[in-house]
Amino acid sequence: MSFWHSPVRTSVLLVFLASPLAAQEWDSGYCLLAPIKDTNLSFSGRELVKEVSVQLGQAVHAGEIVMRLDGAGMPARYERSLAELQHAERAMERADMLGRVMIAEERDQREMELAVKVASAREIELELERLNLRAPHDGIVVSIMVQEGEMLEDSSAMRIINLSQLLVEIDVPSDRFGRFDAGQEVQIRTESGAVVSATVVFADPIIDLASKSFRVNAVLENADREFVAGTSCTLVD
């Protein structure tokens, strides 16, 4: 369940609206700050965790290996597959060097066998790569669900979030519908009282009948991590 739809939202809202200024600005729109990139790194299958390469709170870069799984017996399968492929390639090369004339049927058979071995080696290579869990984007490790020696089976292994940009999720009253477009700058007031600019990336084309409001998403730059994900804000007219 997201923070926006959780019971915690109600508590945050009540505390935040205790400020007279915030209460006045509520009529313009209430919002929450959330990470734009928030990923649970998962694995489909069942493998033993061989190595956890990072620690909680560690910064990681996109493509960096953060966890290695065991894949018992797979490296040996890959070596055998490569050996068979190299043997088939050398046999074809020797035949060509000796000028041996092969009937079309025999050459087709050799080429088919070679193609099968290439495909087999590539398949095992991809399976081996799956055992290296990589960071999907730059970010910070905020949760590690399994440790070395434990079994990972069709579940999440690690959570990585990027806080350099925050998603501003704004709940706007229906009387302001049609006033927001992608690329537009909006002003928001954070819990600390700071008024900052965010860029609209999405405005809901429909109004929610139950709440008489619509959603607007904006992006807030946060390279210095001045603003905290999970906190609330208000839209400033």
pLDDT tens sequence across 198-216: 999 999 999 999 999 999 9
Task: Let me know whether 51 and 85 are in one domain.
Answer: no
pTM: 0.67
Task: Let me know whether 60 and 155 are in one domain.
Answer: yes
Task: Let me know whether 164 and 218 are in one domain.
Answer: yes
pLDDT band for position 169 (cuts 50, 70, 90): very high
Task: Let me know whether 126 and 138 are in one domain.
Answer: no
Residue 3 lies in a domain: no
Task: Let me know whether 115 and 194 are in one domain.
Answer: no
Residue 173 and residue 213 in contact, taking contact as beta carbons nearer than 8 Å: yes
Task: Let me know whether 110 and 81 are in one domain.
Answer: yes
pLDDT band for position 189 (cuts 50, 70, 90): very high
- Count: domains in the chain: 3
Q: Which residues span the domain enclosing 102?
A: 74-130
The identity of residue 11, as a single letter, is S
Residue 27's Cα: distance from chain center in Å?
34
Judge whether residue 54 has pLDDT over 60. Answer: yes
Give the three-class secondary structure for 152: strand
Domain of residue 61, CATH code: 2.40.50.100
Gap between the Cα atoms of 23 and 21, Å rounded? 5
Gap between the Cα atoms of 140 and 228, Å rounded? 14
The more confidently predicted of residues 149 and 3 is 149
pLDDT band for position 80 (cuts 50, 70, 90): low
Residue 191 lies in a domain: yes
User: Any residues with CB less than 8 A from the CB of 15 and at least 6 apart, and which?
Assistant: none
For residue 18, CA distances in Å to 6, 23, 25, 126 come to 20, 7, 12, 56
Task: Let me know whether 59 and 141 are in one domain.
Answer: yes
Residue 1 lies in a domain: no
The stretch 182-206 carries a mean pLDDT of 95
pLDDT band for position 127 (cuts 50, 70, 90): confident
The predicted structure's pLDDT at residue 177: 94
The stretch 179-184 carries a mean pLDDT of 95
Is 31 exposed, middle or buried, given 0-12, 13-18 or 19+ CB atoms closer than 10 A? buried
Residues 12, 36, 215, 233: is their CA dihedral positive or negative?
Answer: positive
Task: Let me know whether 211 and 195 are in one domain.
Answer: yes
